Structure 1
C-alpha cells in the first residue's frame, strides 16, 4: 500500500476512533445500540449495492449475452417464468467466462474472498474477529455478482454476510474493541447482512447468535444482532423500494388435523438425507478441486463450463434458483413440469453448487441449501399427488417446510431458518409442520454441518477454552498485567533490518509504528523470516499485519486472556486512545495476572469467612516438598493446592505432580494450617500471620 494512502487510512482510523472513543466504555445497551446502528446502516447499504449489481449482472450476462432469462420471484419484480434458450451454445461460455473473471479478481486482489464467505466470517468470530481485510468486501461483492450473474449456482447471503462481517471487523480495529466485543460486532454483521438480503430481520438476528456454534448460541450477540439486523432491513428496503417478502404472501395454508403432520415428517426425513448429501458432496468436491494441479483461477472457469452445460438440461440450477422455487409453489405449474425433472432437481442443484462454489468460485451456500430443501419438498408433494395422497392446499406448505428443514438442519440453525422462511413467505402457518420436519431432519443430519468453521459449543472456543480454566478476573486491569514492549519497530525499517532487530531482541514479534508513534500493525519473526528469504524488499510498515489483535488500555485480564489465546504469536499489543503502544501482554503476563485475580478472589473469600488464607511459597532445595509427589506430602486436612508456577509456565496440580526446588506453590487453607503448609515447602519457614481478610 502506498505510503500516502497508508497515512490517510491511519488518520481516518484515528479520527473515527477519537470520535467514538467513549463507545467501548459505555454500558452494554448504549454501546450496542450505537454500534448496532452503524453496522446495520453499512450492512443495508452493502446488501442493496450487491443486489443491484447481481440483478444487473444477471440481466446482462445471462440474459443479454447468454440469451436466457431466469425465473423471478414475487417480491423481486413479480412472478415470471424462465425463458427458453435463444443461444444454447452461449450459456456454458457465459457461465464459464463469468467464473473465470471472478476467479482472476479474487486471485490477484483478495484470495480470502474465495468460496462461500459465511464460513470465513464464522472463522473470524472464533479466531480473529479483527482480521478481515476491508478490500475483501468489495472484491467479494464484484466476484459474486459475476459468478452468480453469469449463471453459477450460488447464494447471495454469503457475499452479504462477508461484506457486513468485514465492516464489523474494520470497526473493531478502528475503535480498538476488546476481542469479546469484536466477536459480537462480526456476528451481528453476519446477522444484519443476511437479514437484509433475505428481508428477514428477525430470522437474521437469531442467525447471528445461532450460526457460529453447532449445538449452542452466542447469547451475547443476540441483542446487537437484533439492532443491526432491523436497521439493515430498513436501509435495504428504503434503497431498493421494497419491504415485501421475497416469495410473496403465502398465507393460504391452514393445518387441518394432526394426521397431516405425518406428511411433513416424510419431508423432514427426506430433507435431512438431502442435507447430509449436500454437505458431503460440497466438501468432497471442494477437496477434489484443491488437489487438482491447475492454476487456482482456472478451476472455477472449468466448473462454470460444466454448470452451464448442466443448466441447458436442468435450467433450475442456474443462478440463485429462487425463481424456480417460486414456480414450484404453484400446483398447476409443478404438475406441468416433467416428473423426472422435479425428482432430479435437488440432486442437480447440489452438483451445480458444489461445482460453482466448491471449485473456488465466489457465492453463498445458504440460498442453494434452501432451494435444495424446497425442491425436495416439491418432489415429495409431486409423488404424493401422483398416488392421490397429497393433502388439499397444493405444494406450497411442502416447499416452504422443505426449505426450513433442509438448510436449518445442515446449518444447525433451526430457529433462525424457521423465522427467516416465515418472513420470506409472509406466513407463520407452517411453523408447526416445520418444527416436526426440522426435528427429524436434525436427527438424520447428526453432527454433520455445512459450515466447517462452526464449533460445537462455546466451551470449544479458543478463548473460552483457556479462560474457562482461569478464575474470573474482570477486576484486574490489563495495565497491571502488561509489560513494557521490549521492541517497537519503526515503519521505515527494511524487512532485513526489522528481522535483525527482532533476533537481536530475542522476541517472537513486535508492534510497528509510524513516525508519529501510531500503531500500524504487528510483525512476527517467523513470517518475516520467510518473506526475507523469499527476497521481499520493502519496508516494515508495509509488511505489518494491520489486522492483528490489539487491546485497549481499559481492557481487563479477561479480555487479555481472550486476545492472547487467539493471537497468532502469543502476544498482543496494548494501545491507548490515540493508538500509541503502551505495553505488550503475553502468556507469562497472563499467569501473573491470574495470580493477582486469584489473590483478589481469595481476599474476598477471606473477608467473608474470616478464617481463610492464601499461602504462596517457593519450594526450597532442602524442604520436604523438593522431589516429592503431591500425594506423598502430609498436607493439612482442609488445604487446597491451587497451582504450581514453574519457569516453563503454570502447572495444574495433580496427585502425581512432582514438586521441585524453585516451584512457586499456591495453597488455600485455614489460618491455623498456614504454618504447617509452609513447613512442607520451606526448609526454615518464617512464621507470618497474613490472612486474606487482613490483606
Structure 2
C-alpha cells in the first residue's frame, strides 16, 4: 500500500488526497457534534427555557459550569478552539494532544446545548484543524513540511466552516482571511477548496441540505440601497468596536486565580439572567444559544424595533459573558445574530426591506468584528442564494471593516503575512529611525505649536519635552477639541498624552509595526532603554514602508 502511494504524483499525494481525506473526516465529525447539540440538547432546552423562567436562568449556568470542569480536566485553559488554529498556523507549533482537544470539543456540548451564547463553528474549526494537522503527521508517505502541515490545518478549518454553515465558499474564504487582519493566507487556497467541498457534501447528506435561513429576492439595486448599505455599515463598525471592547473588558474581569468552573458558573448565571430578560421582552430566550432563532425572527419581522434593539444588547452581552468567562465556542454565528438584529431594527426605523437590512447587518458586523469581510459577504451570498444581496453587502462590509480599524475579537490574528513579519523582524529600529527629532517644548502654547510645528513640519504628532526629556506626545487630535480662543493661553503639556508608547533602538521593525497597528499611531519616539527620558530618534510608518520597499527591491 505504501509503495502504491509513493507512485502517486506528488501534487496529488501532497495536497489533493490529504485535503480530500481531511474534508471527509471533518464532515462526519461536525455532523456528529451538530446532532448531539442541536438535535438532542438545544431543541429541548430552548423549549424548557421558554416555559420556565427559573430553568432559563439555571440551565446556562449548569452547562457552562460543566464545560469549565471538562476544560480544566484537559490541563489546558488558554488559547482554545479557533484561536488555537490561528496561533498554531503563525507559530508552527502543533495543536495540543488528542485528549486535550477531545475534552475541549466535549465541553462545547453543555456550553451550547444548555444555552451558552456561542456557535458550533468554533469546535468545527478546532476539529477540522486538528484533523488537518494530525493526518499528514500520521501518514508518512505524504511527507509534508511543518509549514505545509499548518496549511493543511487551515484546510481543515475551512472544511469545518463549510460543513456547519453548509457554505463551502464561506469556508474557503474564511480560512484564507482569518489568520490576518489585513492579508490573506493564499497558499491555503487549493487545500481549502478541496477539503471544503467533500466536507459540505458529507454534512449535507447526514444532517440535511436545507438552507439555514429563508430570504426573499431583491432585484433592485438603487442609489438609495447603496447609501443605506453604507450607513448601516457605519453603524455596524461602531457597534463592533464596542463589542470587542466589552469582550476584552469581561475577559479581563474573569482573569484571576479562581478555578475555571467557578468562572464559567458566574458567566453562566449572567447569561441566564440576560436570557430571562430576553424572554420577558420578546417571549423567547433569543439571547441564549447560538443565535439561529434570533436571526430567523429578525428576517421574518416577528420582533418590533424595540425588541430588536434590546436583542442587539442582550445577545452581545450573553456572548461576551459566555466566551469571556472561559467557555469554549465560536463567535461567528453570535455576531451574525447581533448583526441581523441590528439590521432588522434599522429596517423597522427606516421602512426598508427587513430581510435585506438584516443581511447587511449580518455581513457588516462580522466583517468589522472578526476582520473577515470577504467571508462575511460569502456567507450572506450562500445563505441567501441570491446575487442581489452581494453588492449592498460588499458596500456595508467595506465601510464597517474600515471604520472599525484594528479591533478584532481574535487575539491571535496578525496584521500581515508571516513572510512580511519575518523579513521586518531582521531589521532594527536604529537603522531606520530619524535621528533629527523635532520636539515641542512643554511650555509652548497651542497657538505656537500649530504655527511653528504643525504647519511647518506637517507631522501629525510630536514628542513633548521638558528640560530636554520626553514627557509626552501631542497630536493633531489632541488640539482639535480645544476652543480657538484658548490656544494662546493653554500649553501643549496640558493636552498632550502623558503615557507615551515608545520604541527602543534594538527592537525589530515588525514589533514596532505591531504596536503601531494595535494603538493606531503613526510615529513612535525611540528612547534609550537605560534612560527612557532621553530621545534617540523617532520611527514612523513611513520609515517602515520605505524599509519594506527596499526589501522588495532586493528580493526582485
Instruction: Give the TM-score normalised by the residue count of structure 2.
Output: 0.71
Cα distance in 2 for partners of 1:49, 1:104 equals 22
Equivalent residue of 1:340, what SS? Answer: helix
- 1:119 aligns with 83
Cα distance in 2 for partners of 1:162, 1:396 equals 31
Equivalent residue of 2:53, what SS? Answer: coil
Structure 2: tracts of 5 or more residues without a match: 279-284, 429-556
Range with greater deviation from structure 2 (54-63 or 427-436)? 54-63
Question: Would you say 1:449 and 2:418 are equivalent positions?
Answer: no
Question: Would you say 1:46 and 2:33 are equivalent positions?
Answer: no
Cα distance in 1 for partners of 2:291, 2:310 equals 14
Equivalent residue of 2:147, what SS? Answer: helix
Whether the 8 Å CA contact 1:211–1:413 is kept in 2: the answer is yes
1:472-487 alignment runs, 5 A limit: none
- 2:552 aligns with none
Whether the 8 Å CA contact 2:14–2:144 is kept in 1: the answer is no
- 2:174 aligns with 207
Cα distance in 1 for partners of 2:331, 2:170 equals 17
Shift of 1:271: 0.7
Q: Paired residue for 2:243, among 244, 263, 278?
A: 278
Shift of 1:367: 1.0
User: 1:580-625: per-residue Cα shift (whole Å, max 9, x none)?
Assistant: xxxxxxxxxxxxxxxxxxxxxxxxxxxxxxxxxxxxxxxxxxxxxx
Q: Paired residue for 2:300, among 316, 330, 333?
A: 330
Q: Paired residue for 1:189, among 156, 177, 187?
A: 156
Cα distance in 1 for partners of 2:295, 2:346 equals 14
Question: Would you say 1:368 and 2:334 are equivalent positions?
Answer: yes
Distance 1:33 1:379, change over 3 A: same
Shift of 1:133: 2.0
- 2:438 aligns with none
Larger radius of gyration: 1
In the alignment of these two chains, the number of paired residues is: 418
Shift of 1:259: 2.1
Q: Paired residue for 2:212, among 226, 241, 246?
A: 246
Cα distance in 2 for partners of 1:90, 1:51 equals 23
1:444-523 alignment runs, 5 A limit: 444-459=403-418
Shift of 1:195: 1.0
Cα distance in 1 for partners of 2:263, 2:315 equals 19
Higher-helix-fraction structure:
2
Structure 1: tracts of 5 or more residues without a match: 1-15, 69-84, 385-389, 470-695
Whether the 8 Å CA contact 1:156–1:364 is kept in 2: the answer is yes
- 2:464 aligns with none
Cα distance in 2 for partners of 1:366, 1:19 equals 43
Cα distance in 2 for partners of 1:327, 1:256 equals 25
Distance 1:115 1:327, change over 3 A: farther
User: 1:326-357: per-residue Cα shift (whole Å, max 9, x none)?
Assistant: 111123x23xx3x3321121121111111011
Whether the 8 Å CA contact 2:237–2:404 is kept in 1: the answer is yes
Shift of 1:62: 4.3
Equivalent residue of 2:388, what SS? Answer: coil
1:176-575 alignment runs, 5 A limit: 177-240=144-207, 242-248=208-214, 250-291=215-256, 293-314=257-278, 315-331=285-301, 333-334=302-303, 337=304, 339-384=305-350, 390-391=351-352, 394-459=353-418
Cα distance in 1 for partners of 2:358, 2:102 equals 34
Equivalent residue of 1:448, what SS? Answer: coil
Distance 1:162 1:347, change over 3 A: same
Distance 1:298 1:375, change over 3 A: same
Distance 1:231 1:464, change over 3 A: farther
Range with greater deviation from structure 2 (116-125 or 198-207)? 116-125
User: 1:613-660: per-residue Cα shift (whole Å, max 9, x none)?
Assistant: xxxxxxxxxxxxxxxxxxxxxxxxxxxxxxxxxxxxxxxxxxxxxxxx
Equivalent residue of 1:318, what SS? Answer: coil
Whether the 8 Å CA contact 2:37–2:109 is kept in 1: the answer is yes
- 2:530 aligns with none
- 1:107 aligns with 72
- 2:107 aligns with 143
Equivalent residue of 1:317, what SS? Answer: coil
Whether the 8 Å CA contact 1:119–1:452 is kept in 2: the answer is yes
Cα distance in 2 for partners of 1:467, 1:40 equals 38
1:582-597 alignment runs, 5 A limit: none
Distance 1:290 1:215, change over 3 A: same
- 1:674 aligns with none
Cα distance in 1 for partners of 2:272, 2:102 equals 26
Whether the 8 Å CA contact 1:115–1:360 is kept in 2: the answer is no
Cα distance in 2 for partners of 1:251, 1:434 equals 15
Shift of 1:257: 1.8
Cα distance in 1 for partners of 2:79, 2:4 equals 34
Shift of 1:91: 1.8
Shift of 1:30: 4.9
Cα distance in 1 for partners of 2:58, 2:224 equals 50
Cα distance in 2 for partners of 1:172, 1:462 equals 26
Shift of 1:115: 7.0
Cα distance in 1 for partners of 2:185, 2:427 equals 16
Whether the 8 Å CA contact 1:274–1:373 is kept in 2: the answer is no
